[in-house]
Amino acid sequence: MELKLGLNVELGFLGMYCRSSLIVLSNICARCFCRKRFTLTRLLVILLIISVITTIFSISYLNVHLRSTKRRKIPPLPLSPCRANITDMKNPFKKISHHTKDVLRFGEKVLVLVDLQFSKAGTKIIRLLEAVRIEYKVVSTGRNLPTLTHLDEGKFAVIIFENFNAYINMDNWNRQLLDKYCLEYNVGIIGFVPSTTDMITEIVPGFPLTMEYNQKLQDYKLNRFSDVWRVTKASQFYEGRLPGDWTVFRTNHSTYEPLSYSKKQSQKFSVSIEDDDNKPVSPVIYDSGKIDNIKRILFGSTLRFWLHRLLLLDSISYLSHGKLSVSLDRYIQIDIDDIFVGKEGIRMLVEDVEALAQKQELFQQIIPGFHFNLGFSGRYYLHGSYDEDAGDKKLLEYRDKFWWFGHMWRHEQAHKFNEEALTLAMQQNKKFAQENFIPVKQNYAVAPHHSGVYPVHEELYKAWRNVWDVKVTSTEEYPKLNPSLRRRGFIYKGIMVLPRQTCGLYTHTLVLDDYPGGKKGLDDSIKGGELFQSILYNPITIFMTHLSNYGNDRLALYTFEGALKFLKCWTNFNLKSLPPLQLALKYFEMFPEERDPIWQNPCNYKRHLVIWSANKTCEKLPSFMVVGPQKTGTTALYTFLAMHPGIVSNYNSPDTFEEVQFFNGNNYYKGLDWYLEFFPDPSNSTSPIIFEKSATYFDNEVVPQRAFSLLPKARIICILLNPAKRAYSWYQHMRSHDDPTALSYSFYDVISASDIAPRKLRDLRNRCLNPGMYAQHLVRWLDYYQPSQIFIIDGEQLKNDPINVMHRVQRFLQVEKYYDYSQHLRYDPKKGFFCEVLSNNFRKRKRKSYPPMTDEETLFLKQYYHKYNVALSKLFERLHITAPSWLEEIYEMKRNELTTV
């Protein structure tokens, strides 16, 4: 019936087209014949033109007709269930938990030893660890081992060698050190043994183990009796050729247990001892430690084979005694964006909607409570062909079967509009939902093209809250689109932003042949490839799909049915579903460290710049920062810098005066737009050199990472004063501001306060003492910025010789127009420091005077800061930085004392 109706409609259009063509033709002919100078040549030209036009229209019609016919093919059938050994389906020895009751004396970090810093095999290991959020440290095997312990605890839970031969051939010192660490802290080793063409077989020195290299393997099954398996379901059997060349292991010692079996290509599986030719080989083996009490798991190939990713996760979990186990719960949400947005010919028909509802019921058997989540822009409802409009109506008929969320009325890109326009668009979409009884109950929304979510468009968040009461959204753009395994979540202004994943299907992926690589390419993604790994690595996965993926060949249904069945075949994951709001709460319960956003420079990433408001500019961001610490002369430096005609400072804050204090407190949660308001528009200033000064940045733990994320090319200026003087100056500063604690206690009482002292006293003690631990704070900055980006100013020299200091500062900043401070700064003997000269008068500056420290206080601080000053001296020596004069004086006195003794 539908086919006849569609055919009648097409024939009707064709008839109308033919009639129109005949009318046009007759009119032209009539005009031509009525003319006196009508010739046969003109007639032929007219007929030729009409023929060309007719051909163009015919081709267009046939393309539409063929595309329509193409989309009506029977959609591809989902992948068949995985192959399993029937005798292995029940595994009485399955052990899901690796946790132990023993006291574990190591941290939650993995040490990865690689041959080269950016080797392909090592990079795959590191990316897997990043994807599952396991902390790691990478060290080259050509160097000495890093410090393995801290106090009485080991730093690393597992040791991974990219190339196990590096462990075998390790020098005696490092080998003994590593083995002793593994024995004392019960830490295991994972090693990958790449194939080599240099030899065929090799006996491992010191171990009853033989390795056979350069093997071509096919088929793969797991040892179902092993306790290593946790994520991996060991009852399955992989059939087919394995990628690349392999190393296999042979041994007769009881310490070794094969974890997997394979066979050489053209070989048959046999468990007969007499049949050596067909005996399976072992590409992954477990050393239980019976020889030297160190447990090891060896892989005969890299992570190129997809199943080894599961095996590596289980190996890390097993050898860390469950400390580095990933969750077995996997929450899945599938969004269908733009459910009414699509050009005619690619939208859903009635049978597509029915198939969607039927598959949802099937998926609910695999994922309890699962619902497809449909996003809509109401403006495009009933904008398809007759049959496609019927599909739209069927969606509304089935409205209560699905979850729903709003886009924009016209699918607008949020970053291009102000709050008023966005609010109006959302209100129109909401009205459409109300008029059509669409149940929008999830407090969830998605911005078209991810526009305005990140980089943040403040107006979008306000409109979302006001119109839809949105509490949750998702994006694939934070912190960047690629690599996808590093996508994370954050919370901004009360809206939880979750990471979103793609499944390889986009708006243009209509039929199976459209997918890169066709059916094989999509099947590879499902069976261990990118789609499978998205769920493997992420305990919560939100997939982005589109309307066109559910019409045409219904590729989304094909893809997810195959993926879910494959997951159930090969993993012990518990597949679950939650409504978006509960899902977001679950996500930040799992990853509370991701609550705080990390602001980046949108101009450093093309995709972000495209979805950032055109009226914003990165040129307002500062080129350098004065980061402190407090009470070292930062205000004087700020004043001197502001005198320079080619340098522009930030605007003053009504709360913190000349300091912005963006990166280290609640101001950071106000967002990038708030920060940019503190800087002048470069078009209105005479210089592009803009800076900010916030002395609270220096010793704050989170500031270096936050600053580097937004300002990776910025230069950093620090002022280091004798830490004892700095501590005393802070105490006096607090007294001058009538701080009750500072007024109630002497300086010695403050700096010598114990950890059981009243909280306010401890807080004041920490603010006096902690910023002066210069070395540990500088190291934190050096984790992100290059030494060439950091300039250290001697606080004493800034006070006594600011002209020379400012000369060096200008050179460090590479200021084009030199400013001669000797003409603008004069020493004021009454105040005891340099001041700016204005018309032969000094600019007024605050003079602070207070009694000197007592001998008891001086001695206490000298002893307290000794180890920190030693560390600072060594750091300067390593970085080839000239030490401040006060630091040289301290150690000159120390040397004199030692000489006297």
Catalytic residues: 631
Q: Is 729 annotated as a binding residue?
A: yes
Nearest Cα to Cα of residue 298 among 210, 199, 214: 210
Q: What's the 3-state SS for 674-741?
A: HHHCCCCCHHHCCCCCEEEECCCCCCCCCHHHHHHHHCCCCEEEEEECCHHHHHHHHHHHHHHCCCHH
What is the length of the chain? 901
CB-based contact 805:721 (threshold 8 Å)? no
CB-based contact 440:468 (threshold 8 Å)? yes
Tally DSSP H helices, then E strands, for the chain.
28, 30
Nearest Cα to Cα of residue 163 among 118, 221, 116: 116
Measure Cα distances from 460 to 11, 408, 413, 494, 613 in Å: 47, 11, 10, 13, 11
Cis peptide before 629 (omega within 30 of 0): yes
For 586-618, letters b (16+ CB in 10 Å) and e give bbbebeeebeebbbbbbeebeebeebbbeebbe
| Token pair recorded at residue 473 | 């959204």
Within its chain, how far is the Cα of 830 from the centroid? 56
Q: Is 848 annotated as a binding residue?
A: yes
Contacts of 765 (CB under 8 A, 6+ apart): 750, 751, 753, 757
CB-based contact 614:476 (threshold 8 Å)? no
CB-based contact 709:600 (threshold 8 Å)? yes
| Token pair recorded at residue 81 | 């269930």
CB-based contact 886:757 (threshold 8 Å)? no
Name the phi and psi angles at 506, rounded to 5: -125, 180
CB-based contact 263:280 (threshold 8 Å)? yes
Nearest Cα to Cα of residue 148 among 115, 104, 173, 178: 178
* Sequence letter at residue 309: R
**Look-up of token digits 């039929």:** 511
Beta bridge partners of 135: 109
d(CA 769, CA 772): 6
* Sequence letter at residue 732: Q
299's enclosing H/E stretch is: strand 296-299
d(CA 486, CA 135): 13
Contacts of 527 (CB under 8 A, 6+ apart): 79, 306, 562, 566
Nearest Cα to Cα of residue 295 among 255, 331, 353: 255
Q: Is 411 helix (H, G, I), strand (E, B) or coil?
A: coil
Q: Is 849 annotated as a binding residue?
A: yes
d(CA 600, CA 609): 11
Following CA atoms 579, 583, 584, 590 in sequence, which dihedral angle do they give, to the nearest 10 degrees?
170
* Sequence letter at residue 285: I
Left (φ > 0), alpha (ψ -120 to 50) or beta: where does 268 sit?
A: beta
CB-based contact 543:506 (threshold 8 Å)? no
Name the phi and psi angles at 285, rounded to 5: -135, 150
Q: Residues within the annotated binding site for 3'-phosphoadenylyl sulfate?
A: 729, 846-850
Q: Residues within the annotated binding site?
A: 729, 846-850
